[in-house]
Structure 1
Amino acid sequence: MDKPVFELRTLDAVSMSDALLQGLGHPARQRALRFARPEDRDEFVAGRIALRQFAASLLDIDPTRLTPDYVCPQCGPGQDHGRPGFLLDGGPSPLVLSASRASGWVLLAGVVHPAEGLRLGVDLETADKTGFEGFDDVALTAPEKQYLLSLPGSGRDATRSRLWARKEAWLKMTGEGLRRNPAEMDVLDREGIQDLDLAAGQPQGLVAAVALG
């Protein structure tokens, strides 16, 4: 059975040497130049470097053997966005990967030697991100809103964030992203999604989910 491996890292602990920056690949380097805020650029770059190091650790190889190869379901391979992946010595690598950044942290997930066609998506969210007025109407289905109302007021914010993390994880896994209306996709009991509890490694205020299928 395919079982993902997870790792949670702080982005400020990621080394960004010239050699590591070169390993980003041309599409990601070009995307990094388009960020208006330096802190956003640094988080993006650190997240990409962390994923490459994570992938190398799963395969027990030197990261220099991996070349980024992100595939967008709409745009094709060789993108600066889409499903993350790497070529190993110029050929396919036996990995399925996903990553998500939030509040200075990056959640990494991977399956080594996955079954053919296996898809993976993870999402990391700040627990207070979804608490604004009107969020439920644009993001949640009617059963999800009803479920929230059945909970004590103190538990609604965290549950709302977990529901959103599940949706994001699923839409990353399928490659649909927010082209699909999240308010029409119920994740209360959807098979293939689960909340992630990263125990001691997960800071307060963050929630996470994984989708596999």
Structure 2
Amino acid sequence: MITTVSTSGGAQVAVFALPTRTMYSGLRVSWLSYLGAAEQRRAAELPTPVGAVSYLSTQALMRSMAACRLGVASSAAHTIEVDRTCTLCNSTKPHGKPRIEGMNFNMSQVSSLAVGGFCPDDAQVLGVDLEPRRDRLFPGFARVALSLREREIYEATTGEARNLLGVALWTAKEAVLKATGHGLSVSPAAVRVFFSDSLTNQLAEAFEASHELADEEVTAASVCSARAVFTVPSRDNSDTTEERSFYITWTALTLHPEKQPAHNSPQSTNPAHGSDVAAEQFLLATATEGVPNSVHVHPVATPVELRNNLAPLTFSQLPTMRMGADPVTA
């Protein structure tokens, strides 16, 4: 299912959603062909299989998006340079927002799902964040992450509405801080989110709608947009600050149980998983600077599906240089 939130004259954002359990099926071969030996070694060094699969899914999704955008053959995708230098400090360690020349993107993942946001406008500042719908956030969430106004509203909210509001605020702040490249090097409270009184009701309705839809492995329903203002701290520790304005769109995602779990997938090997295994739900926040955004969510199981959805956004704007010529194969 493709879900769209339409805005007039705003940024067009495509979000591709890849279930990590795909890496337990025969389809993993087509995704792993986009990765090089270094990334596969990195995955092997991670302490848990879940972490390794999540990492591989995210890297494969990112490189397949880049290959399509840049006109690079799948066999050469591992040679695409990913710049992870930080533009906000003098450190030489690769801890900055990932960047690929010629592609405007941002990635996020949880253990079950990897997502990649793409905007054909290279000048647009883009960030995405994905979090599971959960009963509670980390201890001290309100004190650490919220502005005074947000904390007053949050603490006055009760029950499931509070949980939904907390996840919405957290994903919005993370999306903004990922867009700018600051990440959690600054306090999330520096991002103030301005939302309507009906947000939690709209969130609940969107989650219900996405759960009822079962025409795809991942289904989505979008929620209203909001505005966020990031007070950027000075880099020289002076009292001067800068305010940057962002638009947020939230999308409720449901990952439905596999009808026929792949051999060795978490669903097939975990005794707690059976034919009645529950669907998983997540909240996605998309942030764009200065202008509203139209978000299109595309579930993908193969690189061919990704290519078919991404190509209309990219081929009219491809760079002249191409690396290789073999087609993407499933």
Correspondence 1:42 to 2:53: yes
Question: Do structure 1's residue 184 and structure 2's residue 193 form an aligned pair?
Answer: no
Q: CA deviation at 1:165?
A: 0.4
**Aligned equivalent of 2:173:** 167
Whole-angstrom CA distance in 1 between matches of 2:28 and 2:48: 17
Greater CA drift, 47-56 or 198-207: 198-207
Equivalent of 1:84 in 83, 92, 98: 98
Which of the pair has the greater relative contact order for Cα pairs under 8 Å at 6+ separation? 2
Give the drift of 1:51.
Answer: 1.8
Normalising by structure 2, we get a TM-score of 0.53
Alignment partner of 1:70 is 2:70: no
The correspondence for 1:139, drawn from 132, 140, 145, is 145
Structure with larger Rg: 2
Secondary structure in 2 aligned to 1:125?
A: strand
Structure 2: how far apart are the matches of 1:22 and 1:199?
Answer: 26
Distance 1:46 1:200, change over 3 A: closer
Could you tell me how far apart the structure 2 residues matched to 1:178 and 1:46 are? 23
2:34/2:74 contact within 8 Å kept: no
- 1:70 to 1:31, Cα distance in 2 relative to 1, 3 A: farther
Cα RMSD (Å): 3.0
In structure 1, distance between residues paired with 2:288 and 2:49 = 34
Indicate how the Cα distance of structure 1 residues 72 and 129 shifts in structure 2: closer, same or farther if over 3 A, else same: farther
Alpha-carbon distance between aligned partners in 2 of 1:122 and 1:145, rounded to the nearest angstrom: 23
Who is 2:107 aligned against? 99
Aligned residue for 2:129, secondary structure, equals strand
Return 5+ residue gaps in structure 1 as ranges: 87-91
* Deviation (angstroms), 1:149: 3.3
Amino acid at match of 1:36: P
Separation in 1 of the partners of 2:192 and 2:171? 12
Q: Please give the alpha-carbon distance, in whole angstroms, between the structure 2 residues aligned to 1:125 and 1:99.
A: 12
Check 1:119–1:130 CA distance in 2 against 1; reply closer, same or farther (3 A cut): farther
Which amino acid in 2 is paired with 1:3? Q
Deviation of the 1:60 alpha carbon: 6.0
Change (3 A) 1:200 1:207: closer
The one of 9, 20, 38 equivalent to 2:32 is 20
Contact map agreement 1:8 1:201 (CA 8 A) in 2: no
Match of 1:154 among 135, 160, 185: 160
Deviation at 1:198, TM superposition (A): 5.4
Q: Are the aligned partners of 2:246 and 2:288 in contact in 1 as well (CA < 8 Å)?
A: yes
Q: Is residue 209 of structure 1 aligned with residue 295 of structure 2? A: no
Matches within 5 A, 1:121-136: 121-128=127-134, 130-136=136-142
Bigger CA drift: 97-106 or 59-68?
A: 59-68
C-alpha distance in 2 between matches for 1:98 and 1:34: 24
User: Which stretches of structure 1, 4 residues or more, deviate above 6 A after TM superposition?
Assistant: 199-203
SS of the equivalent of 1:71 reads coil
Contact 1:24 1:68 in 2 (8 A): no
- Are the counterparts in 2 of residues 3 and 111 from structure 1 also a CA contact under 8 Å? yes
Q: Deviations over 1:40-83 (max 9, x none)?
A: 11210121102222333445653334314132324569x4x533
In structure 2, give the amino acid aligned to 1:110: F
Residue 3 of structure 1 aligns to a residue whose secondary structure is strand
Match of 1:53 in 2: 64
Contact kept? 1:129, 1:161, Cα under 8 Å:
no
Partners of 2:49 and 2:111 in 1: CA distance: 15
For the residue of structure 2 that corresponds to 1:178, the secondary structure is helix
Q: Percent identity?
A: 22
The equivalent of 2:208 in structure 1 is none
Other structure's SS at 2:193 match: coil
Contact 1:58 1:112 in 2 (8 A): no
